[in-house]
Amino acid sequence: MSSLFSGKVALVTGGGSGIGRAACQRLAMEGAEVVVADIDLAGAERTVELISGRGGHAVAIRADIAREEDNRAMFDLAESRFGGIDAAFLNAGTLQPYVPLEEVTLDIFDRLIGVNLRGTFMGVQQARARLRPGGACVVTASLAGVIGFAEAAAYSVSKHGLVGLVRSSAAAFAARGNRINAICPGMVLTAMTGNGGIETIDDPESLADPAYRGALTAQQIAEVALFLLGRRSAGINGQVQAVDAALLSAFPPIAELV
């Protein structure tokens, strides 16, 4: 066990799989007590098992971030079980079917906005009100939040909204002695993207470099989230960090490094 988050309490939404599960495990390994929130309670409980197996402390809660009462409940749990909250990783979200704009129905659009944007907005409001001084919030946006996504327009709109939300919230967080930032992952090998789930955690000092413009692992994204949640990033607020193995670094794409 390390100690970067010793004595700290962290909340992770979407903690039952993928990036969220990796972040929960890494936060616990760094000494945090962790609230694992997910709409899939079994997945959240499995994450707690993985943390407990390493000697860490965590609790699971079923939370649908599209519901205001669920956003309150997960922060309530952090306070009642662990005494407060220092780090909020608002990572939960949903994808849409990959279809052209003309096939995006209002039901699809409303669901993406309701979960990804409205749901995260409610979490951000809770984090602003609940974080202890010196705390931080990180929101999972997407590369689709900084460029267009022709085959998933509603998803892209929701993630663009998150980028604006984070930038617009920085002053409110700073006024309370806290920070908020966003990460924008590229292609990540998780169940959400149809690539299965990985439960193991590697030594962060030995993580392999992804291929140029290639896919990343959930832990490679989670490590950046941990940095932004911790005190080592105290000078970063209201910023948006791409984590994309250089996917958007240049245009047109270069097939291979020369």
Asked, for residue 111, whether it belongs to a domain, the answer is yes
Owning domain of residue 224? 9-243
Within a domain: residue 250? no
Whether residue 142 is contained in a domain is answered as yes
> Would you state the structure tokens that stand for residue 77, as one six-digit string?
């749990």
Phi and psi at 223, nearest 5°, equal: -65, -35
- Quote the pLDDT of residue 158: 98
28: which 2 tokens? 């616990």
pTM: 0.95
Domain CATH for 219: 3.40.50.720
Q: Compute the residue count for the chain.
A: 258
Structure confidence by residue, pLDDT tens digits, 162-202: 999 999 999 999 999 999 999 999 999 876 665 656 678 99
Is there a domain that residue 103 lies in?
yes
- Note the pLDDT tens digit of each residue in 194-240: 565 667 899 999 999 999 999 999 999 999 999 999 999 999 999 99
Give every strand in the sheet of 33-38, ordered side by side: 57-62, 33-38, 9-13, 87-90, 136-140, 179-185, 240-243
Q: pLDDT grade, residue 250 (50/70/90)?
A: confident
User: Is residue 251, in this structure, part of any structural domain at all?
Assistant: no
How many independent structural domains does the chain possess? 1
Average pLDDT over residues 2-27: 95
Query: Domain for residue 253, yes or no?
Result: no
Q: What share of the chain is helix, strand, coil (3-state, %, to 5)?
A: 45, 15, 40
Q: Is 155 considered catalytic here?
A: yes
52 falls within a domain: yes
Which H/E stretch holds residue 112? helix 106-112
Catalytic residue, from 5, 121, 155, 173: name it. Answer: 155
